[in-house]
Chains A and B, each alone.
Chain A
Amino acid sequence: MSNAVSTAPRTTAPARGGSEQSAKRKAALGWLTVPALFFFLVFAVVPLAGVFILSFAGWDGIGAIGAAGMDNWFSVLADPGLYNALGLTFLIMIASWLVQTPISLLLGVFTAGSQRYRAALAVLYFLPLLLSSAAVAIAFKALLDPNFGLATGLGLPFLAQDWLGVPHLALGLVIFVIAWQFVPFHTLIYQGGVRQIPKSLYEAAEIDGAGTIKQFFHITLPQLKYTIITSSTLMVVGSLTYFDLIFVLTGGGPGNSTRILALDMYLRGFRANLMGPASVIAVILVVIGLALALLLQRLGGKDKQGSQLEGL
């Protein structure tokens, strides 16, 4: 596509000079971004601007929109509910990362092997990836029902906790179910990453007498640096938007113990009819998400163009 467009002018108008040529080329390439820009504008920038404007408005979602000045911001920032939601969001984010990264890394390394049984197991590991969050949540809710759930059905009293009814259990369970659902995805990323590592590195290490564990820490892990950053960015930024799963599983409860920021935004906006304060939270979410994504990119080091395969 890019080739076709950039060569086209050349046939009609002979080249006049190198710099003009490249400027033209740039202009042509610039046009190629139009479709993407259009969608970005319509589905990201416009709603974002709308939310930003709404955060200064009073609106119940039904009637007329009125100006509210800074009222929404003051009321949300003074609300302890916001800080509870923020704390929970970061807690779930960090816990999710700590739980999911080692598991998906190890599973990814394991499934990257070429043996048949590994491929067969990989198919099983990837199954949760096919299920929608709502379905996962409904299934877990039914399995964990304290009176009619799995524990009663199988007669396993130690499983018969009130998993979704006790605040700290519910929070732990949410982290577990999120991991259950998303580990397969990150495993897939790591699997791809591991398969990209040149075999010659391992062969050389073997000749030098390095065992499996040493190979993992000295070759696999450093070679996966950018894979880890990608996966972590997706995990961390993605955890800001966990909504459907928690909404169906606990609805933010019991009490406010799983009411994370995205859910808090929804409940304020659509249950309590407070679109203004909900927009404030949406703006906060956007800022946090951007800051985290930039921070993680920085952690990757500045020489992104640098090769990890120098000398090969």
Chain B
Amino acid sequence: MKQPQTSRRSFLALAALTPFAVAATSACGTSGPGTSSGGGGASMWYLSGEPNQTTMQKAVDTFNSANPDNKIAVTYFQNDAYKTKIKTAIGAGQAPTIIYGWGGGTLKTYAEANQVDDLTSWFDENPDLKEKFFPASFGAATVNGKIYALPNQYVAPIVLFYNKELFEKAGVQPPKTWDDVMSLVKTFNDMGVAPFSLGGQSRWTSMMWLEYLLDRIGGHEVFNAIFEGKPNAWLDPAVIETGTKIQELVSAEGFIKGFSSIAADSNADQALLFTGKAAMMLHGSWTYGAMKKGGQNFVQDGKLGFVQFPTVPGGKGDPKNGVGNPAQYMSISSKATEQEKESAKKFFKDGILTETVIDTYISSGSVPIVNGIEDKLNTSEDKDFLNFVYDLAKNAPNFQQSWDQALSPTAAEALLNNIDQLFLKSITPQQFAENMNATLGK
């Protein structure tokens, strides 16, 4: 008699509490953004930051008003934060319909885990779309012979930018060889200007130096071997020489004071260049658009110069080789509903890289990955830069995708961590090579 009573009371108490508990626990499960958007539309995550955010928003708005049944809902994230967030969301089954990324090793992990749809047959059904893009842009979208992503946006090689005003004041020319670099470092340090701007806390910014140096010193074959996971590929003498050159540059105070605490997310590294605190900056071509928009007429007044990365005496690499992002990529989450997938594919076909979007990219200083745009580039007010980027990408015998995107996430994180330590001189080039060699095949 007594026992049931106690338990009934407790049961009632429990029953009263359960809804809260369920609400509390289920809230974690469903609050993730974007799996469902009303009306059969698709969700998409994209990077914040100008000018691309506005360009994408305009493209989405145009598409949405033309296709009210297939609306795209887009959410913006900061670059460094996005890279972590998207991986976690995919792992938790909370990914948006359209997964934005850079292809390569990360896309490979998604594809191998069946998290993104194989788009090969869809491209076969839409040959016009496939032929619209630079053929080279499909490389990083392909895993085991199948296409898992739509290349889009623009080609973004890494470019050596310089401040023309400061170079005129110093009476010097932009560097053509590594020796020029080292002598310019001295010139600008004597002038009280930092030779190179660098947002070292973001780490992939420092990585761009290694990418070019290794290519110039040892040729593109060295990284190819690393990419293919060949035994002891990182122990190549060219890797050691690259590390040595980097540390020589750091020791000569080639980079701005405090570079290791500057993050690229806030564009502080670009600000150092256009405010005249630094004379040069090695960075992606996308910073041209950002500096044009945020650089207080620095670009418009013709003060921004740009050259190819200098050669290294005795180096094996072709001086025309380029590194950077061959394109940006969009995949479709295999967890999305059929309706969401249809909306996404419609957006891929009709919403991205329309004539208007292509024009917007060109006017913001980027080269879209679309064939037959030479005329448009030539009539743009940024034609010098656009043609420079176009030629660099087109004429490069080898265009190496950014390492942190080409490698698997595990190897990429180890790479960025070791690059950070290499720039701080807390490890030697030899240790760098050995640490990285341990990550081969991971």
Contacts and interface: CB of A to CB of B under 8 A. Distances in A.
Interface string A6-17: 001100110000
A255 B112 contact: no
A253 B113 contact: no
Contact of B268 (A42, A144, A145): A145
25 contacts: A5-B9, A31-B9, A31-B13, A34-B13, A35-B13, A35-B14, A42-B21, A60-B91, A61-B87, A63-B112, A64-B113, A145-B258, A146-B262, A162-B261, A165-B262, A170-B261, A251-B201, A253-B260, A253-B261, A255-B424, A256-B421, A270-B84, A271-B413, A272-B413, A272-B414
B257 interface: yes
Interface of B: 1-2, 5-7, 9-10, 13-14, 17, 21, 25, 84, 87-88, 90-91, 109-110, 112-115, 200-201, 203, 256-262, 268, 271-272, 277, 408-410, 412-414, 417, 420-421, 424, 426
Residue of B91, B256, B408 with highest tally of chain A CB at under 10 A:
B91
Nearest to A254: B260
Given A61-B91, A62-B109, A63-B109, A147 B268 contact: yes
B258 A147 contact: yes
Nearest to A170: B261
Nearest to B28: A43
Given A31-B6, A147-B277, A254-B261, A274 B410 contact: yes
A38 B261 contact: no
Interface of A: 5, 8-9, 12-13, 24, 27-28, 31, 34-35, 38-39, 42, 60-64, 141, 144-148, 162-167, 170, 250-251, 253-256, 267, 270-274
B208 to A, nearest CB: 17
Nearest to A272: B413
Contacts of B200: 165, 254
Nearest to B21: A38
A145 to B, nearest CB: 7
Contact of A63 (B88, B113, B262, B417): B113
A131 to B, nearest CB: 20
Nearest to A13: B2
A253 to B, nearest CB: 6
A167 B424 contact: yes
Nearest to A173: B261
Contacts of A42: 21, 25
For the residues of A in contact with B, the DSSP-based class is: loop
Nearest to A42: B25
B109 A39 contact: no
Contact of A163 (B2, B5, B87, B261): B261
Instruction: Give 6 closest A-B pairs by Cβ, nearest first.
Output: A146-B258, A63-B113, A164-B261, A272-B413, A165-B261, A165-B260
Contacts of A256: 417, 421
Interface SS of B by simple majority: helix
A250 B203 CA distance: 12
A286 to B, nearest CB: 20
B260 A267 contact: no
A162 B201 CA distance: 12
Given A62-B113, A165-B259, A34 B426 contact: no
A35 B90 CA distance: 33
A11 B10 CA distance: 17
A34 B10 contact: yes
A79 B420 CA distance: 18
A165 B258 contact: yes
Nearest to A24: B2
A39 B21 contact: yes
A147 B21 contact: no
A8 B25 CA distance: 32
Contacts of A254: 200-201, 260-261, 420, 424
A271 B256 CA distance: 27
B413 A267 contact: yes
B94 to A, nearest CB: 12
B84 A271 contact: yes
Contacts of A164: 201, 258, 260-261
A175 to B, nearest CB: 16
Contacts of B87: 61-62, 270, 273
Nearest to A163: B261
A50 B189 CA distance: 55
Contacts of B7: 31
A13 B114 CA distance: 63
Nearest to A164: B261
B380 to A, nearest CB: 32
A236 B9 CA distance: 41
B113 A13 contact: no
A39 B17 CA distance: 11
B253 to A, nearest CB: 12
Contacts of A163: 261
A147 B272 contact: yes
B108 to A, nearest CB: 11
Given A35-B17, A147-B258, A273 B5 contact: no
A251 B201 CA distance: 8
A263 to B, nearest CB: 12
Contact of B262 (A35, A147, A271): A147
B187 to A, nearest CB: 20
Nearest to B115: A62
Contacts of B260: 162, 164-166, 253-254
Contacts of B17: 35, 38
Nearest to B203: A253
B262 A273 contact: no
A69 B271 CA distance: 50
Contacts of B261: 141, 144-146, 162-165, 170, 250, 253-254
A142 to B, nearest CB: 9
Contacts of A9: 2, 5-6
